[in-house]
Amino acid sequence: MRRPTRDSATSHRRISRRSLILGGVMSASAAVLALRMRFLQVEQADQFRLLADENRINIRLIPPARGRIFDRNGVIIAENVPSYRITLVPEETSDIEAVIDRLGQLVELDPDELNRARRDLERLRGDTPVTVADRVSWEAISRVAVNTPALPGVAPEVGLTRHYPHGAAYAHVVGYVGPVSDRDLERIDAPDGLLLIPRFQIGKIGLEAEREDLLRGKAGTKRVEVNATGRVMRELERHEGTSGADIQLTLDNELQTYVHARLGDESAAVVVIDCQTGDMLACASSPGFDPNLFVRGISSTDYNALLENERRPLPNKAVQGIYPPGSTFKMVTALAALEDGQIDPNETVYCPGYVEISNRRFHCWKRSGHGNVDLHRSLRESCDVYYYDLAQRVGIEKISAMAQRLGLGIEYDLPMTSVAKGLTPTKDWKIVNRGAEWVIGDSVNAAIGQGFVLASPLQLSVMAARLATGRAITPRLIRSVDGVEEPGGEMPDLGLNPNMLNEVRRAMFAVSNSRRGTAYSNRIIADGYRMAGKTGTSQVRNISTGERASGVRSNADLPWRQRDHALFVDFAPYEAPRVAVSVVVEHGGGGSSVAAPIARDITLQALYGGDPPLDAYPAKDRGRIRTQQEQLRQYRPAGGTQKRGRA
């Protein structure tokens, strides 16, 4: 049956309308797709190209060379030496343990090193190279390089590691570097990407730590192309980093190594300062340790041996150690009294061997007493009773103020670990810190450098330099950075009465050059090199009545840790001071018998710039000194150490 013409026309219109609608939708969809394709292929082409490149290109950090450290004459103290190692990038291998097993068949893997590597592989990002073998030989590196196709993710590398050519001589001043630890990272708010590289070395103590910002440098980057298995095919681009700054110290290598050798196994510290500039020429703490042991991580056995050594090789006694200064403090008390007008240099005090104050007897070191003593004799023979009398006249406040004026009780801004402030006590200090009132006995003890008074060897050398010059000498350790001279601090006049200061200097000269002086046996006899000094013995504990009854008569009868500390300070030459020296020997006994000989030898070494002639010593000492010089030469660089690079 034929459909009516009207129905056909209606149906045709409907089909045409639907076709147009459908065609329009399809056209719109095609247009949207075309626009989207244009957006992806044209406008976002760079982004997608980068995403594609990231599948085959890795960006890696290049550790910078650490800045070197030199002495004042350009002798290298801390350097960087090549170190061969084998690294593994975990994301570039599907079976880490299998790769490690194959690697172990080619080179010997240290179990401890491997355990550290496994811990790093677990906690670090997959694209971070982890060191699985360090300090390997060239032969081992060659075997790994030949077999790299069978070791996905493994790469033999050559890097730089820190080396300290003089070992223990600079361990306490320069310090050492070591691998970055979790504790290091916790102390830093936003760690540099370099610090996340396993085994990356940073300063741990000493100058290495205090000037980490200068020594570390800035990282470089490199872009490498890798294949489907992650193996590096080629290096596409490299941007070198910036090496750390080279630092030149004020220390003199020949003097520093001599001092360290001269101290030997003593538990002691020495500081030598240039009286004109404040430059530290030597700063030694003994016994020392080899900082190279710490560079890649010290073993528990070696570290425990250092911790258990009763002579404490780890702390820097020269700046961290604080001791009662003993009789080396008497110049402070004398100047406080002179400046305050409490005494005249010729005024005498009678010393019967003791003085009674507040129902307590304070003894002089010479039990029979010194008789009538003036300022000159009090220092020359180190009479205690004279200073007990001064303490009662001048008071602790003025003594403490003079101590600070001469450089004690000050925390010097030096790039070393834990520089101690020491203590110059006052009445308020005792109330705040001890909860008790100051008593006259406290002043009496302080007047001879005992009681609450504490000073470091560094501060004692500054005191000697200030006494020598009358100026506010300030110690300096860094001479230049990348060849640019570091500015020295201002060293204004102390404002002391020159006549009074000269009286104290004359008395210090008599200590070493008068037959009755406590350091006469350790004098310098060479004209133009004579020194002015002061002995000191700081008491660690009293010998009890019971101990005396049992036969303990002197310090030598006590266990080592209970013996007195021996001290000596000096400056030389007396007429035109060039160097100031302080020596502290822990539990050494007497300052005149133990510390003074060391100080005399070091002073001469500093003045002559090497072994002094034997005729600079008293005739009775020359045979012993000749033997000593021959023995010490084997521990020191012959003719100076070869200079490397620039300073």
Higher pLDDT, 18 or 337: 337
When pLDDT is averaged across residues 446-453 and rounded to a whole number, the result is: 96
Question: Which pLDDT score, from 0 to 100, does residue 643 have?
Answer: 46
Confidence of residue 254 (pLDDT cuts 50, 70, 90): very high
- Are both 275 and 193 inside the same structural domain? no
- Are both 224 and 283 inside the same structural domain? no
- Are both 194 and 270 inside the same structural domain? no
Gap between the Cα atoms of 120 and 122, Å rounded: 5
Gap between the Cα atoms of 403 and 78, Å rounded: 36
Gap between the Cα atoms of 535 and 569, Å rounded: 7
- Are both 236 and 284 inside the same structural domain? no
Higher pLDDT, 49 or 178: 178
Quote the tokens at residue 613. Answer: 């002639």
- Are both 92 and 222 inside the same structural domain? yes
When pLDDT is averaged across residues 379-389 and rounded to a whole number, the result is: 97
CATH code of the domain containing 354: 3.40.710.10
- Are both 431 and 541 inside the same structural domain? yes
Among 216, 249, 282, the domain-final residue is 249
Question: Which pLDDT score, from 0 to 100, does residue 646 have?
Answer: 33
- Are both 241 and 347 inside the same structural domain? no
Tens of pLDDT, residues 324-352: 999 999 999 999 999 999 999 999 999 99
Question: Which pLDDT score, from 0 to 100, does residue 390 have?
Answer: 97
- Are both 273 and 422 inside the same structural domain? yes
Confidence of residue 154 (pLDDT cuts 50, 70, 90): confident
Residue 482 lies in a domain: no
- Are both 225 and 371 inside the same structural domain? no
Higher pLDDT, 189 or 297: 297
Question: Which pLDDT score, from 0 to 100, does residue 76 have?
Answer: 97
Gap between the Cα atoms of 269 and 259, Å rounded: 9
Task: Give which of 260, 168, 249 is closest to 215, Cα–Cα.
Answer: 249
When pLDDT is averaged across residues 194-198 and rounded to a whole number, the result is: 75
Question: Which pLDDT score, from 0 to 100, does residue 347 have?
Answer: 95
Task: Give which of 227, 238, 171, 159 is closest to 198, Cα–Cα.
Answer: 159
pTM of the shown model: 0.84
Gap between the Cα atoms of 488 and 479, Å rounded: 9
When pLDDT is averaged across residues 536-544 and rounded to a whole number, the result is: 77
Gap between the Cα atoms of 390 and 444, Å rounded: 8
Among 249, 279, 302, the domain-final residue is 249
Confidence of residue 8 (pLDDT cuts 50, 70, 90): low
Question: Which pLDDT score, from 0 to 100, does residue 568 have?
Answer: 98
Gap between the Cα atoms of 561 and 571, Å rounded: 30
Question: Which pLDDT score, from 0 to 100, does residue 556 have?
Answer: 73
Alpha-helical regions (H) of 230-347 = 253-263, 300-308, 330-339
When pLDDT is averaged across residues 272-290 and rounded to a whole number, the result is: 97
Residue 615 lies in a domain: yes
Taking phi first (over 0 means left), then psi (-120 to 50 degrees means alpha), and beta for anything else, what does residue 582 get? Answer: beta
When pLDDT is averaged across residues 586-598 and rounded to a whole number, the result is: 93
Question: Which pLDDT score, from 0 to 100, does residue 47 have?
Answer: 58
Confidence of residue 228 (pLDDT cuts 50, 70, 90): low
Query: How many DSSP H helices and E strands does the chain contain?
Result: 22, 21
- Are both 374 and 517 inside the same structural domain? yes
Residue 244 lies in a domain: yes
440-447 helix and 396-405 helix, angle to the nearest 10 degrees: 30
Please give the residue range of the domain that contains residue 174. Answer: 58-249
Confidence of residue 552 (pLDDT cuts 50, 70, 90): low
Catalytic residue among 327, 382, 400, 456: 327
Question: Which pLDDT score, from 0 to 100, does residue 487 have?
Answer: 87
Gap between the Cα atoms of 175 and 206, Å rounded: 4
**Is the pLDDT at 239 greater than 90, yes or no?**
no
**Is the pLDDT at 640 greater than 50, yes or no?**
no
Quote the tokens at residue 433. Answer: 């810190």
Residue 303 lies in a domain: no
- Indicate the number of domains in the chain: 2
Higher pLDDT, 84 or 13: 84
When pLDDT is averaged across residues 559-578 and rounded to a whole number, the result is: 94
Confidence of residue 639 (pLDDT cuts 50, 70, 90): very low
**Is the pLDDT at 645 greater than 50, yes or no?**
no
- Are both 284 and 220 inside the same structural domain? no
Distance of CA 476 to the CA centre of its chain: 14
CATH code of the domain containing 178: 3.90.1310.10
- Note whether 567 and 460 are within 8 A (CB): yes
- Note whether 279 and 250 are within 8 A (CB): yes
Question: Which pLDDT score, from 0 to 100, does residue 6 have?
Answer: 61
Higher pLDDT, 620 or 16: 620
**Is the pLDDT at 51 greater than 60, yes or no?**
no
Confidence of residue 642 (pLDDT cuts 50, 70, 90): very low
Among 249, 270, 298, the domain-final residue is 249
Q: Lowest-pLDDT range, 20-24, 287-291, 370-374? A: 20-24
- Are both 212 and 355 inside the same structural domain? no
Is residue 327 part of the annotated active site? The answer reads yes
Residue 17 lies in a domain: no
Residue 620 lies in a domain: yes
**Is the pLDDT at 59 greater than 60, yes or no?**
yes
Residue 76 lies in a domain: yes
> What mean pLDDT is reported for the chain?
88
Higher pLDDT, 85 or 249: 249
Question: Going by C-beta distance under 8 Å and a sequence separation of 6 or more, which residues neighbour residue 388?
Answer: 355, 357, 362, 444, 447, 448
Residue 558 lies in a domain: no
- Note whether 103 and 132 are within 8 A (CB): yes
Gap between the Cα atoms of 385 and 378, Å rounded: 9
Tens of pLDDT, residues 111-151: 877 888 888 787 777 767 788 887 788 888 888 888 888 88
